[in-house]
Amino acid sequence: MNAGVTVKTGQAGHVNQGSGTVVVGVDGSFQARSALKWAADEAGRRGSTLRILCAEIADPAHLPPWFDPKTSDVTGCQAIVDDAEGLVATGHPSVFATAEVMDWPAAVALTEASGAADLLVVGSRGSGPFQELLLGSVSDQCIQYAHCPVVVVHTDADGPPLLGAPPRIVVGVDGSLASTRSLRWALEEAQLRAASVSGVFAWEYPPVPELVEPIQGYEVVALDVVDAAIEYAERFAPQVPFVASARLGDPVTVLLGESRDADLLVMGASGHGSFRNSLLGSVAHQCVRHANSDVVVVRSKEGVRSGFFLREFEVSR
């Protein structure tokens, strides 16, 4: 099934938020450098302060080339944040940045800092002898417990730019309030980037459909979710080019495929959806681990409201 594809054309514009804070975690690794550049670019777009954090560890695996522990009067972690601050000053002179070492575990430091942030940015890999386990724990905890949207950066900060490809953001929608926040975040980000947005509802038939409800009912709900997303986008950001579609298939596979050539994949930290298999809570973790694009998992400081998401969500600036 490839249902409910509807296109709304428009001309993306720019907004200037001019406030707020973007937090980024660094550890001296190549992946952290990519996260730092992404965060600095985003802070520049938003006019936000960039807060650079490094968790204190005894022997950092990645130190700046200029750092000599034998002659320096600062720790390795302090050298890492000093180096990061210098990179931002050189590459993004208009961005105001602060840098500090936190005497807490990385996940604790970052989630705590997210309470006063608009965005938390981390790299796709960490450092240390148990690299995969360490990063999996840190990124998973940030996704689960952060108080703001979390960005997991997969792209190479030093890689060549994509030529001829207009900016594009893919957002997962599933009929929940969590996905409404994701759609709103994607539309706002599209205005900052002059990008288009593609809303995708990925779903599967239940294992024993005759025990639940007729198959046609699922197809109708899929079209309802798509139509509601289009209605919301038209009301909230009519200037942003938008397309929405329903895709039959494993949600992780569908979303990763749709976002392969996108700048961002955006989804909610949790959702309920109309279909049990479309829960974005579990899908988000899998997409974060396997995506080629950068992934944004949207969390909100606001309380959860009940009801079907888009038609009950108040559109306000």
Q: Where are the domains of the chain?
A: 21-153, 163-312
Q: What is the pTM of this model?
A: 0.81
Same fold, 21-153 and 163-312: yes
Buried b (16+ CB within 10 A) or exposed e, 80-106: bbbbbbebbeeebeebebebebbeebb
What digits encode the pLDDT tens for the residues 202-225?
988 766 555 555 566 778 888 999
Q: What's the whole-number average pLDDT of the chain?
A: 80
Q: Which has the minimum average pLDDT: 97-106, 215-224, 250-259?
A: 215-224
Query: In the structure, what pLDDT confidence band is assigned to residue 162 with cuts at 50, 70 and 90?
Result: low
pLDDT at 125 (0 to 100): 64
Which contiguous run of DSSP H or E holds residue 180?
helix 177-193
CB 123 within 8 A of CB 23: no
Q: Is pLDDT of 139 > 60? A: yes
User: Cα–chain-centroid distance for residue 3?
Assistant: 26
Fold of 163-312: Rossmann fold (3.40.50)
Architecture of domain 21-153: 3-Layer(aba) Sandwich (3.40)
Q: Cα dist. 173→83, 188, 270, 306 in Å?
A: 39, 16, 11, 16
Q: Is the per-residue pLDDT at 135 higher than 80?
A: no
CA-to-CA separations, 297 to 48, 63, 182, in angstroms, rounded: 19, 29, 8
Residue 281 reports pLDDT greater than 90: no
Closest residue by Cα to residue 188 from 5, 4, 12, 11: 12
229-246 burial, b at 16+ Cβ within 10 Å, e below that, comes to bbebbeebbeebbbbbbb
Beta strands in the chain (DSSP E): 2-8, 21-25, 49-55, 97-102, 119-123, 150-153, 168-172, 196-203, 242-248, 264-268, 294-298
> How many other C-beta atoms lie within 10 A of the C-beta of residue 263?
20
Q: Inform me whether the pLDDT recorded for 199 exceeds 80.
A: yes
pLDDT at 165: 74
Report how far residue 285's alpha carbon sits from residue 3's, in angstroms, rounded to the nearest whole number.
26
Question: What is the mean predicted confidence (pLDDT) over 54-70?
Answer: 80
